[in-house]
Structure formats: structure tokens, C-alpha cells
Homo-oligomer: A and B are copies of this chain.
């Protein structure tokens, strides 16, 4: 049949295309390729393997793990107690200064933190609130006296703390929060006030029950001038857990997940804190009320302050990726054992992972998870460079923020999508709480909107891409710009964080990709993915050109009319970053068998992206209809080829049974299958088996 010939052709193409690409060094015959699982597992641990392994050892302990079905109150108590165990263990304190018992290890700290998601996402997030937000605000926004005064209590959990930034009325738009901190020179105190209900601090972990202090963000007002959002250290409860005078609050109550965390609301009426409780690294008020700051521009100051808190986004990217890997470990293990329907045989039923549709549901998501693991490590290295001071220029910080803002949305959405697909792929078993998929999904739900709403983050990325683009073309008139969109520049190395260079012009590209086999060429994939980001940004930039001459409202309307395109461009940029990281990861593999299989996984990721956006490639003439059709054929072929390696690929995630914990992924299903098969074999052998009516019907004809 036609399709079978296509498949054979694709096979040949795959072998042929090996030369001249990443896979050039591979000399293993496809059918013989085997993954060196321990070596790959080690590589996937990334730049801080010891930190990850130590954290996984913690997560393997029953006392650190979630108990499904606990009441909200019991769950909160349990997680709070687990935080004390983390203090004893000490690893979560790595990012703090050595002189206070930390290790000044920023990258290793986050690497370890995010593995806690395997024990309980509530534990990961509540730890994140205490040390990654409350503690980190003191560390990064405060100065040495604050470190000495407040960090020990934050670190040893004597002072559980809330990170009081978000208000009921303002989440994404932090600059517009309405809580005020007005300096009173007479008493040398700041007076904290909540002017109306929408300015209540909201959704704060540790605020409902456990918090004794807060790092509170408020508009700093002194001498009649509002200097914008600053952070203050504010005690909120006494040792008996009662609110201090002027402070009130509410419990946020039951949530869709993460119920081990006591989220709540806080409000302040005339609450006074000493002048020195202003965390004054980026802005200070003298005794007489004079404001000073090392950063002149209020806007830049604000973004610098917020930028120190990027670690939340970084760690969500890692935790979401770990959760996706866990979901696939469960679903692929179950899918390799579960059997249903016997289309191809009279006695043996099919393993469900042998169905093409089942492969289509799980294997591209596996490929994306691999890409994310590599991309996350790159993000973490960047994070470490900035926070260790190895490379912390303004540009470095902005690049880090753009990278985090591009990757966190993709990985957190991917986690929800993968957990859901894994749940459905495990059928009724997937819906049982004991198999963990529903609970993890419920917990990770909010990862898509906290620490930066995913859509808002992607818009930030898009604005950065537009800025990079307009810098390059600041002096080019609109006509040149329009031509640029059509003609494409030959070399467009624009910016490290932003637009990527194209090795070839569109015209050249049209000819180089003439053969379908080249879709698997790494350079062709790079060109296709890069070209798309660049063109999307260039198109929108052209449409927005002149917006600065419009009224504020008209400019805003114009921008809004292209908001969806912009966000899609940012998504394409994030996908490209993931693909590039994966490409680098594959290049580092030494073992030929592993490299061969990972090259397929890498190609599956790249081609799945191209398949997802195929309409764009067709409309923009980057792929002919014939080549477009070949993309899906390749994806099908790669999926079939990867099927035998699926179990190795999830084993390489390195999860122990104590991390997986889902009964359906323990071999239980295979054991049941065997018991049933043995029963029928014995029955047939006994001669007592009833005759099937269908057989009789056939005979009687």
C-alpha cells in the first residue's frame, strides 16, 4: 500500500540523512540501538547531580510524602512539620550566606528544592514560600543588618513567614498594589495601611495560620512623594499565633490543590514598623525622611527588585518538568503491561502501548519532557551565574528573566497536559487517588498562574523580543522593515536572549530543504524553528510601527489587536530555546546507542513542533504541501521506532519506587495479566473449557 512504501522511504531517508547532521557520529544500526540507562540517567540529573540525588533521598522518605485524602488541616500540619525536618536536614538552606549556615550555592539549592515535588507539591511550594520567597526577599532586598536580624529565624523556621506581595485587586500588575508604607519622621517608623478591601494581601502561603512575619510590599511614601513598591519586614503574629495590633486576616480556605499550604489574606491598619525594617538594598529612607536609591529610574529600580525573585519561576520550571516525567513514568509503565482487545491474535490481547494512538498520546509528550529537562538545566546554570555574581550584568539579569519567563509557561502547561493525558491513558485506574496522577494535576494547576501568569509572562517575553528587534532596526524606515519581512536578512544574529541567526536566506532554504529526508537534519529543524520566531516578531513589529505616534489609547488598542500573535511568537521562542538546549544535550552524549535513540527523541520533539505549527509553515511558504504531509509521516515513524525504548527512556528519569508510589506502576498489572493467562491456559489444557457459541455457529454452517 502507499503508506507502507512511504514508511520504507522514510526509513531509507533516516539512514541517509545521518550524514552531515548531529547524528553523524552514530554508527549503530537502528535496530541495534540501546540506551545506556545509567549514563543517561546521570546526564539528566544536570549540573548539580548531588543536590538532586540528596533531595530525592529525602523525597523517598515516607514522612516527607503526601498522604492522599488528608483533611486540609491535617495536611497543613503535616507539611509544616515536614519543613522542620527540612531545616534539620539543612539542604534547603544552601542559598543563604555561609556565615549564617548556608552555602552560597544558588543553583544547587534550586536543583534540590524542585525535586521535593516528588514527595508532595505542597511541601515544595511551602518550602518555596519560606525560603525561596520570604527568606530570599530578606536576602536579596535587605542588607547585612537585615540578614543578621531576620535570616536566622527565617532559615531555622522559628519565624515562619509570608511573602505579602499580591493583593486581591492586583496580581500580575504588582506596580499597582495599593498598600501604603508612609514614613513618619517623628517616630522614625513606617506606617502600613490597607486602604480598601481590594488592597488586602491575598493568596499568601503561611498567612492563614503559621506565619509570624511577612516581607510586605507596599508603596513607599515619604515627604509626600510615592517612591513606588518597596519591601518591608513586618511581624504579624505573636508567639501564641494571635495577630498583632492593627493586623487582621482571613483564611483562603480550600483550594483546588496544594492544600498543605495555609494560604490566606492580611490587612493592615496603622501598623508601625521601625524605619530600619525597610529592606533597603535598592531604596532607603534616612531618619529625616529623605529617600535615596542606587538606581535613579523608578521603573528600573522596580524591575530590579522584582528580578531578584526570579527563582520562583526557575524552580517551577524544574518542578513542573519533574512532575511530567513522573506522570510519564507511571503511564508508560502501565501502558507497557496493560492489555486490551485482541485484534491481532486469538488468545493474546494487545499491550495498549502498542496501539499507535496510545503512542501518539504519550511519546511526543515524553520527547517534550526530555527537551525541558535540558532547557531547565541551562536556565539553572544561567540563574546560578547571575546570583553567584559570576555574570550578573544588567543584560545577564534581563536574559535570565526572559529565559525564565519563556520556559515557565511552557513547562507548567505541559505538566498539566501530560498529567491529564497520563491520567486518561490509565483509564479508571488513573482516576484513583492512589495512582497519584489526579492529585499531582490538582496541585500543579496553579503553577500556570502563580509566580507570573503564563500569558502575562509570555507577553513580557514578546515585548523583549520586540525591543531587541526594534533596537536593531531603530534607524530603518518602515519601508525597509517591510522589505525585511519579505526578503529576510542573510545574517541576523540579533541578541543572545532573543532573535537567532539564520544560516540561510529563505530562498536558499527553499532549495536546501527540497528533499523530505532533510526534515530530520538538525540544521533544517533549526532554520525552520528560528525562522518562525523571527518572522512572527518581524510581522508584528511592522504592524506596530508608528504606535509611538498614536495616542496612549490608540497605541494600546493597536497593541491589543496583535496581542494573541505576540504571545504565540513568545511561545515559539520558548519552544526554540527548548529545542536548542535539547540539541546541545544530544551533542554531549558519548554512547552511540544512547545517542542514536536520543537523536530520535530529539527529532520527535522538533518535528512535533513543526507539525503543531504546520499551518504557519505552509502559509508562509516555508514548507510545501508535500513536505508538510511528510512531517506527520515522520512523526508516526519515529513514534513506532521509539516504542521499544519507551521503558528505558522513563527509567532514565531515575525515579525509585519510593518516588513513583503509584500501585499501577509497580508490576501489579502484569502480575494480574499473567494470573489470568495462566488460568485460561490451564482451562484449555484441562479440556473442560466451554465451547464458544460463535465457534458452534460457524461449524453448523
A interface, CB within 8 angstroms of B: 1-4, 7, 68-69, 71-72, 166, 168-173, 176, 178, 195-199, 202-203, 219, 221, 224-228, 252-257, 291, 296-299, 340-346, 349, 354-357, 360-361, 416, 420, 423-424, 427-428, 430-434, 437-439, 441-442, 445-446, 448-450, 453-455, 459, 542-546, 552-553, 555-564, 567, 611, 614-615, 618-621, 625, 628-629, 636, 640, 672-673, 675-676, 679, 690-694, 696-697
Contact = CB atoms under 8 A, between A and B. Distances in A.
Contact of A172 (B341, B423, B625): B341
A611 B428 CA distance: 33
Contact of A636 (B176, B346, B564, B691): B564
A357 B618 contact: no
Given A619-B628, A672-B198, A1 B558 contact: yes
B431 A256 contact: yes
Contacts of A437: 256
A561 B356 contact: yes
Q: Shortest 5 CB-CB distances between A and B: which pairs?
A: A256-B438, A344-B556, A614-B615, A254-B433, A618-B618
Contact of A354 (B428, B560, B611): B560
A448 to B, nearest CB: 5
A693 B229 CA distance: 11
Given A69-B72, A176-B349, 20 more contacts: A7-B561, A166-B428, A169-B673, A198-B676, A202-B428, A226-B692, A254-B432, A255-B432, A255-B438, A256-B441, A298-B697, A299-B694, A343-B560, A344-B556, A428-B449, A430-B449, A442-B442, A561-B636, A614-B619, A615-B618
A543 B2 CA distance: 7
A631 to B, nearest CB: 9
B344 A552 contact: yes
Contact of A357 (B202, B203, B563): B563
A178 B676 contact: yes
A446 B431 contact: yes
10 contacts: A166-B428, A171-B428, A197-B675, A227-B693, A228-B693, A291-B693, A343-B552, A344-B555, A361-B455, A619-B625
B173 A562 contact: no
A126 to B, nearest CB: 16
A203 to B, nearest CB: 4
Contacts of A629: 619
Contacts of A291: 693
A697 B428 contact: no
A614 B445 CA distance: 30
Given A224-B690, A619-B625, A625-B618, A195 B679 contact: yes
A446 B433 contact: no
Contacts of A439: 256
A305 to B, nearest CB: 14
Contacts of A253: 69, 432-434
A391 B73 CA distance: 56
A564 B357 contact: yes
* Most chain B CB within a 10 A radius of its CB, from A199, A349, A546, A556: A556
A691 B219 CA distance: 12
Nearest to A554: B344
Contact of A428 (B203, B454, B564, B692): B203
Contacts of A219: 690
A253 B434 CA distance: 8
A605 B19 CA distance: 46
Nearest to A552: B344
Given A567-B357, A618-B615, A445 B432 contact: no
A257 B445 contact: no
Contact of A431 (B197, B255, B545): B255
A566 to B, nearest CB: 9
A226 B445 contact: no
Contacts of A224: 690-691
A583 to B, nearest CB: 24
A267 B71 CA distance: 31
A481 to B, nearest CB: 12
A612 to B, nearest CB: 9
A504 to B, nearest CB: 21
Nearest to A688: B224
A298 B700 CA distance: 14
Contacts of A559: 343
B344 A427 contact: no
Contacts of A256: 423, 431-433, 437-439, 441-442
A670 B546 CA distance: 35
Contacts of A349: 173, 176
Given A428-B450, A431-B445, A431-B446, A679 B196 contact: yes
B619 A694 contact: no
A445 B438 contact: yes
B454 A424 contact: yes
Contacts of A563: 355-357
A348 B349 CA distance: 64
A693 B226 contact: yes
A190 B432 CA distance: 33
Contact of A226 (B199, B361, B615, B690): B690
Contact of A171 (B360, B427, B561): B427
B449 A427 contact: yes
A72 B71 CA distance: 10
A3 B459 CA distance: 20
A256 B690 CA distance: 40
A229 to B, nearest CB: 11
A343 B560 CA distance: 10
A219 B693 CA distance: 11
A540 to B, nearest CB: 9
A430 B453 CA distance: 12
A313 to B, nearest CB: 16
Q: Which of A255, A428, A611, A621 has the most CB of B within 10 A?
A: A428
A201 to B, nearest CB: 12
Contact of A676 (B199, B257, B455, B690): B199
A169 B3 contact: no
Contact of A169 (B176, B453, B557, B676): B676
B431 A357 contact: no
Given A72-B69, A225-B696, A298-B694, A168 B672 contact: yes
